[in-house]
Structure 1
Amino acid sequence: MPETLRDAATRIREHAYAPYSGFRVGAALRTDAGTVFTGVNVENVAYPEGTCAEAGAIAAMCAAGERRIAGVFVIADSPDPVAPCGGCRQKIAEFADPGAVVIMATLSGKTRSATVAELLPGAFGPHHLAAR
């Protein structure tokens, strides 16, 4: 039985590197081909130099030669589901259709779902560059 995105994100979250905040995040995405890629947040003592879990999963997907996200699952130990940051919303929008679903969850089981378009209305895209 294939691993669910929830299972993959929950499992990988344990490998997050968060020695400063203690806030570990796991992300899993499924491609149009059905492959699952995961990522974790990686902190750095120079805070802006860290990376997000979603960005890690997208980088793994690209490194494997895939380019289309069908869905995303993000999990963190928070009282409420945590949405991807603005930069990760743009990264997800680069590889997903506007209707692709992003599920955000807590360890206690709360979830919230939104489409990519709902998370990033008016996303900047390749069509903006066509006016050159």
Structure 2
Amino acid sequence: MIDEEVIGALFDAASLARDRAYAPYSGFAVGAALLAADGSIHAGCNVENAAYPVGVCAEAGAISALAASGGRKILAIVVMAGGEALCTPCGACRQRIREFAEPAAPVLVAGPEGVRARFTLGELLPESFGPANLPEAAARD
């Protein structure tokens, strides 16, 4: 279980990343921060592009920062956006998170005022396909 102090640190990192998002087309800024197995926190923000389909989600940015630091395991993630509706990770990001997290990993959905909802990755991506489905690939690592 992730304690409230760690959740607060993830929230702060996601908020800062959201403040730095590049969202000139949609105006919908998103920040994400994840907790790595070594206790480090990695954040990312969405980065839009005039060629819409080539933008980058906040979760993908945080995961790239994790991988670039040598990390390979996500213990928890906070995704923060504005607006009234919950901003859960998109389908592609759910699968990206699954690559580095177990189904029991907490996914906290937040707004600027605080955490709005808590899920496990398994709740958001049931019966997922992950590294264990490819034992030959996992054996090479």
With the shorter chain as reference, the TM-score category is over 0.9
Give the alignment's TM-score, normalised by structure 2.
Answer: 0.87
Q: Is the 8 Å Cα contact of residues 81 and 110 (structure 1) preserved in structure 2?
A: no
Deviation at 1:110, TM superposition (A): 5.3
Q: Is the 8 Å Cα contact of residues 11 and 114 (structure 2) preserved in structure 1?
A: no
* Matched residue, 2:36: 31
3-state SS of paired residue (1:4): helix
Q: Is the 8 Å Cα contact of residues 14 and 24 (structure 1) preserved in structure 2?
A: yes
* Matched residue, 1:126: 131
Superposition RMSD in Å: 1.8
* Matched residue, 2:57: 52
Distance 1:57 1:50 in 2: 14
* Matched residue, 1:80: 85
Equivalent runs, 1:1-132 vs 2, <5 Å: 4-109=9-114, 111-130=116-135
Q: Which runs of 5+ in 1 are unaligned?
A: none
Identity across matched positions, percent: 50
Q: Which runs of 5+ in 2 are unaligned?
A: 137-141
Distance 2:21 2:127 in 1: 31
Distance 2:30 2:130 in 1: 27
